[in-house]
Amino acid sequence: MPDQTNRSEPTGVLFVCLGNICRSPLAEGIFIHLARERGVLGRFSIDSCGTGGWHAGEPADPRSIAVAAKHGIELPSRARKFDPAADIDGFDWLIPMDRQNHRDLRDHGVPERKLKLILDFHPQPPTREVPDPYYGGPDGFDKVYQMLVRSCEGLLDSLR
């Protein structure tokens, strides 16, 4: 029999925002990129979703795609709505971008032990919430990118 003692299931990480076109697909792309750079991508199952479903099936917002591309990161994800029946058991960690996302997930029955705001992983969090850049200009996306990179590095460190 092959020795399976060192093999384990990938750790499931689901990034969550409101529309799943600006913040959470960017967090997903950054996390995938960093995990690949560190040679640990295979240890994770990574996805993102929105608490709202208005943009389901759409690619990420062009401004998120542009800021990611500036840093050599692709955002292949398509928007989808959070699915309590599949996602609560399907992921180990559900990582909301802001407090409203956190509340919505809790109201859907996500246990507190699986929930942590992404900026809680930032070494020097400028605030506790990633601001929604949807209605603002491109500099909002640069700020969000910077917050997410440091938070995703912290998240990866904490999951090692």
Instruction: Provide the minimum distance between the beta carbon of 133 and ligand 4NP in the complex, in angstroms, as a whole number.
Output: 7
Please tell me which residue in 61, 87, 98, 132 is annotated as part of the active site: 132
What distance in Å separates the CA atoms of residue 14 and residue 47, rounded to the nearest whole number?
5
> Where on the chain is the footprint of ligand 4NP (CB under 6 A)?
17-23, 50, 54, 132, 134
Instruction: Provide the minimum distance between the beta carbon of 132 and ligand 4NP in the complex, in angstroms, as a whole number.
Output: 5
Rg (CA), the chain: 15
Q: Is 126 left (phi over 0), alpha (psi -120 to 50) or beta?
A: alpha
Supply the DSSP symbol for 113. Answer: G
Q: Which two tokens stand for residue 12?
A: 């499931």
Closer to ligand 4NP by CB, 29 or 50: give it. Answer: 50
Kind plus residue range of the DSSP H or E element containing 150:
helix 138-159
Query: CA-based angle 82:154:126, to the nearest 5?
Result: 85
Please tell me which residue in 22, 23, 63, 104 is annotated as part of the active site: 23
Residue 17 is a catalytic residue: yes
Instruction: Provide the minimum distance between the beta carbon of 21 and ligand 4NP in the complex, in angstroms, as a whole number.
Output: 4
Closer to ligand 4NP by CB, 74 or 89: give it. Answer: 74
Closer to ligand 4NP by CB, 43 or 59: give it. Answer: 59
Q: Provide the sign of the torsion angle of the four alpha carbons 95, 122, 152, 143, taken in this order.
A: positive
What distance in Å separates the CA atoms of residue 52 and residue 40, rounded to the nearest whole number?
31
Residue 142 is a catalytic residue: no
Instruction: Provide the minimum distance between the beta carbon of 156 and ligand 4NP in the complex, in angstroms, as a whole number.
Output: 21
Closer to ligand 4NP by CB, 17 or 94: give it. Answer: 17
Residue the block writes with tokens 């020795």: 3
Select the residue whose beta carbon is closest to ligand 4NP and give its number.
Answer: 19
Please tell me which residue in 17, 22, 49, 152 is annotated as part of the active site: 17
Catalytic site positions: 17, 23, 132
